[in-house]
Structure 1
């Protein structure tokens, strides 16, 4: 009921609910960068219990899900912040099909991304009895998503008007309901703006924060090369189709050498042992996995080959030989050149050995490279 009262502007009901609590709780969006670290520490310094949420998708932070406990301990040891991961993969993958507010310079839907995060944070605020939300955003820091009119649009679309605090730029913005109700002291908040970092660095020194990451994009959707690849994927680059894209598909798209074989079949080739292990871990029951059991070389994953390859045995053999030829081509060389080799192909519980496979000539597959 607290959130509903806020959104309807019932300040009296809101105040009654808050004062009945033993301790004020707040949910913060935590990217792991300096701005979000500072925001959490500034709010916590006023005796408010901070729940820091790091949202992850296949496009940013997804690898942290493999060991959330380690992530939480690392953040607490460095910054004394209690953080947790929230997986937004399913909703985010769907969002990229047609974001209401368009894309940035590459394939990054920054405005809709922030709206999605805040909507989820608002839901969790209600569930967890938190009093308000906050972010580490700095007014004017980013041209697409952090101008004043855009910040106000985002909080309106996310249903967070009056309950979303931005501690680093609060003094440059109208007071929020938590400030008006005395839940947090506005005089201890800040008025930072623009792309410079002098103010943040000064605050970090004041708070004794020294071990923080350098500024970085973090989201692969802002990378011009990877963003173009992902965009083509959404446009139907491969035979697996545009519907039913999964988080595992995106993870596969971001590693290894990528090939579009004739017919639109999608093949990923590992470039090192780590990527070979990753491909093996990500394979599904409909995928073909190919490797040389007797020689060092890449693992190849042919995505959903069991359903995208024609039933005719001749077509299956042709595709298997193309994939195997790429495995041999990028495998261990002898006297500077790849030699024919045996390739094992696995699909489900079945195995098939392809003997004396010749390496594919470069001129044959150069147009297959994505």
Structure 2
């Protein structure tokens, strides 16, 4: 079956600006393929069927998790207030969009960016840097603020009618909300949110992964999203909070990892990540086993030592420990991470 061709490829977050940008272009009679990018830090691919039905936009998910994990090691344009590499994030997405554009025979890329809306990535100079470094100056149009920016090649070529594009700027949403009414959107997304790298509670989980992991993968960051997180230098233990956590933790286990489970009582599954070439000491294994038992309610009530099964590489050992939280293990704190991150910038 021949691949369907589209006129325009759109960056689609699911937020109001990305919806309005797509509707403005559809109103000009142009077909749009929207790309919803996903990673351990953002993306809601499960909502795509709902979005397509509600907004009448053809959307596909694009996984950039591994590329993003590599980007996090050293983003060329740096992090924002938390751990968000907003400029490099948009560059990555636009580069991927350019590849998809060629595959679909499209002639332009659009995004929902609004001049002056975000302090890091939507200043005029940042918009120029993004277009330049992504290599999309000849194809990128920003429909919501196009009239506040110089004409682009797709506008000059008639792919999009500049007169029917918009001149929105700033952080307000009044004009977008009016357009939502015009297009009769059945649901208006709430502003903000969406990227966990901009949230302190999530970012503090990611920093130790960057600090201690040689080459962190998307699966490392997915694991950091789960359960309770404990670190003792580069020893990392994830403790499941419920059955859903336990199942996801098990699915993320790498061949060299350690899986901890109390033998005789129901409780959390815990995963100790063993970085390549850095096997855990017997002492660290015993301490992690004690932590595992600490979060098993029935093991604590039992009193005294309990048996914890430690599985790795197809073999299982049994460790007898008293439930406790050994010294030196702690949950990540953002203030510490912030200081360490600041030191890397000097």
> Which TM bucket (shorter chain)?
0.7 to 0.9
Counterpart contact for 1:170–1:186, Cα < 8 Å: yes
Q: Residue 317 of structure 2 is aligned with which of 345, 348, 352?
A: 352
- Structure 2 partner of 1:101: 77
Query: Is 1:320 paired with 2:290?
Result: no
Deviation at 1:24, TM superposition (A): 5.8
Q: Residue 150 of structure 1 is aligned with which of 126, 129, 133?
A: 126
Specify every segment of 5 or more residues in structure 2 that has no aligned partner in the other structure, as ranges.
333-346
Alignment partners' CA distance in 2, 1:207 and 1:306: 53
Distance 1:291 1:209, change over 3 A: same
Query: Is 1:368 paired with 2:344?
Result: no
- Structure 2 partner of 1:284: 254
1:162-194 superposed Cα distances (whole Å, 9 cap, x missing partner):
421111111222222222222222222211111
Q: Residue 274 of structure 2 is aligned with which of 304, 307, 310?
A: 304
- Structure 1 partner of 2:342: none
Instruction: Name the stretch that deviates more: 298-307 or 165-174.
Output: 298-307
TM-score of the aligned structures, taking structure 2 as reference length: 0.87
Alignment partners' CA distance in 1, 2:7 and 2:96: 17
Deviation at 1:272, TM superposition (A): 2.0
Superposition map of 1:84-163 within 5 A:
84-163=60-139
Query: Is 1:40 paired with 2:22?
Result: yes
Instruction: Name the stretch that deviates more: 283-292 or 340-349.
Output: 340-349
TM-score of the aligned structures, taking structure 1 as reference length: 0.82
Deviation at 1:127, TM superposition (A): 2.3
- Structure 2 partner of 1:257: 228
Superposition map of 1:43-54 within 5 A:
43-54=25-36
Q: Residue 217 of structure 2 is aligned with which of 246, 262, 275?
A: 246
Counterpart contact for 2:265–2:299, Cα < 8 Å: no
The structure with the largest alpha-carbon Rg is: 1
Distance 1:339 1:298, change over 3 A: farther
Superposed CA RMSD in Å reads 2.3
Alignment partners' CA distance in 1, 2:146 and 2:244: 45
Distance 1:201 1:159, change over 3 A: same
Deviation at 1:59, TM superposition (A): 1.5
Deviation at 1:333, TM superposition (A): 4.3
Counterpart contact for 1:331–1:338, Cα < 8 Å: no
Task: Give SS of 1:150's match.
Answer: helix
The alignment of Structure 1 onto Structure 2 pairs a total of residues equal to 329
Distance 1:86 1:264, change over 3 A: same
Counterpart contact for 2:6–2:104, Cα < 8 Å: no
Task: Give SS of 1:365's match.
Answer: coil
- Structure 1 partner of 2:339: none
Instruction: Name the stretch that deviates more: 334-343 or 242-251.
Output: 334-343
Deviation at 1:334, TM superposition (A): 7.7
- Structure 2 partner of 1:295: 265
Distance 1:149 1:346, change over 3 A: same
1:234-264 superposed Cα distances (whole Å, 9 cap, x missing partner):
222xxxxx32311111111122211223x63
Structure ranking higher on relative contact order (CA contacts 8 Å, 6+ apart): 2
